[in-house]
């Protein structure tokens, strides 16, 4: 697809679907007597969040936050900003932040702190992909689709430059 680069599929559409169903089942149990609000971080998690909420068998509110980080385009710096905030009042509610991938952890650390200030009952994190070897903060997701080594991921919501978010499987370039 990209000149001189060969794709290597890490997770097929079917593998992703199976894992998302499992996560949906687990979360439906965990949050069955709670007041669940899913907060999807744009833009990367829009596909995962859309699939995940459709695997929940419990009531759920859905809202979005957009963050930006300045520095190298493919790597977040410690300087994460909330550029578009929630509209939902989350006071006393049970928040599950949904993101595409935890890399350094700077983004999720910032978002958790931001949401805690709004006095929710609880805040947990679910990511499709976790790259634990890259972590720069003391934080781990509560729920993980797949744990992966330090490779640059594209597809299933994750971009390469301005494109490829729509590719329905997860791949890397060799
Ligand atoms: P962190 O703040 O944890 O370093 O990174 C969070 C964000 O960086 C992710 O939500 C994602 O947007 C981007 N990111 C981190 N690793 C990758 C990757 O392998 N591929 C792509 N496309 N984006 C990534
Ligand atoms: Mg992101």
70 lines ligand 1 (CB under 6 A): no
Gap from CA of 15 to ligand 1 centroid (Å): 21
Q: Answer with the residue of higher pLDDT: 91 or 79.
A: 91
The confidence score (pLDDT) of residue 2 equals 66
154 lines ligand 1 (CB under 6 A): yes
Residues of the chain with pLDDT > 70, as a percent, come to 94
If you average pLDDT over residues 32-36, what whole number do you get?
98
Catalytic residue flag (residue 63): no
Q: What is the mean pLDDT of the chain?
A: 94
Active-site pick, 51, 99, 100, 103: 103
Q: Judge contact between 33 and 75, C-beta under 8 A.
A: no
Q: Answer with the residue of higher pLDDT: 36 or 76.
A: 36
Domains and CATH numbers, the chain: 7-70+79-173 (3.40.50.2020)
Q: Does 116 have pLDDT greater than 90?
A: yes
Q: Answer with the residue of higher pLDDT: 84 or 174.
A: 84
- CA-based Rg of the chain, rounded to a whole angstrom? 16
DSSP state of 165: T
Q: Does 86 have pLDDT greater than 60?
A: yes
Determine whether 79 is exposed, middle or buried from the number of CB atoms within 10 Å of its CB (0-12, 13-18, 19+). Answer: exposed
Q: Nearest to residue 90, comparing CAs of 70, 108, 65?
A: 65
Q: Does 3 have pLDDT greater than 70?
A: no
Q: What is the pTM of this model?
A: 0.95
Distance of CA 106 to the CA centre of its chain: 13
CA of 139, nearest ligand number: 1
- Summarised one tens digit per residue, pLDDT across range 124-148 is 999 999 999 999 999 999 999 999 9
CA of 128, nearest ligand number: 1
The confidence score (pLDDT) of residue 74 equals 61
Strand segments, DSSP code E, in the chain are 7-11, 36-42, 61-69, 80-84, 94-102, 122-130, 143-147, 170-173
If you average pLDDT over residues 91-110, what whole number do you get?
97
If you average pLDDT over residues 93-121, what whole number do you get?
97
If you average pLDDT over residues 82-99, what whole number do you get?
97
101 lines ligand 1 (CB under 6 A): yes
Q: Judge contact between 37 and 13, C-beta under 8 A.
A: no
Q: Give residues whose Cβ lies within 5 Å of ion ligand 2.
A: 44
């Amino acid at each position: 697809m990209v000149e001189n680069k060969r794709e290597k599929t890490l997770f097929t559409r079917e593998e992703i679907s199976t894992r998302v169903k499992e996560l949906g089942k687990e979360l439906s149990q965990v949050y069955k007597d709670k007041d669940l609000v899913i907060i999807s971080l744009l833009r990367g998690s829009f596909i995962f969040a859309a699939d995940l909420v459709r695997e929940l068998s419990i009531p759920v509110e859905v809202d979005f936050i957009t963050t930006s980080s300045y520095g190298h385009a493919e790597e977040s710096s410690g300087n994460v900003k909330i550029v578009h905030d929630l509209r939902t009042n989350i006071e006393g509610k049970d928040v599950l932040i949904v993101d595409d991938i935890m890399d350094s952890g700077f983004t999720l650390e910032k978002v958790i702190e931001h949401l805690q200030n709004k006095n929710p009952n609880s805040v947990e994190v679910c990511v499709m992909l976790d790259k634990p070897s890259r972590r720069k903060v003391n934080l781990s997701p509560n729920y993980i689709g797949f744990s992966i080594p330090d490779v640059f991921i594209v597809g299933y919501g994750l971009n390469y430059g301005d494109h490829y978010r729509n590719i329905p499987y997860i791949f890397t370039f060799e």
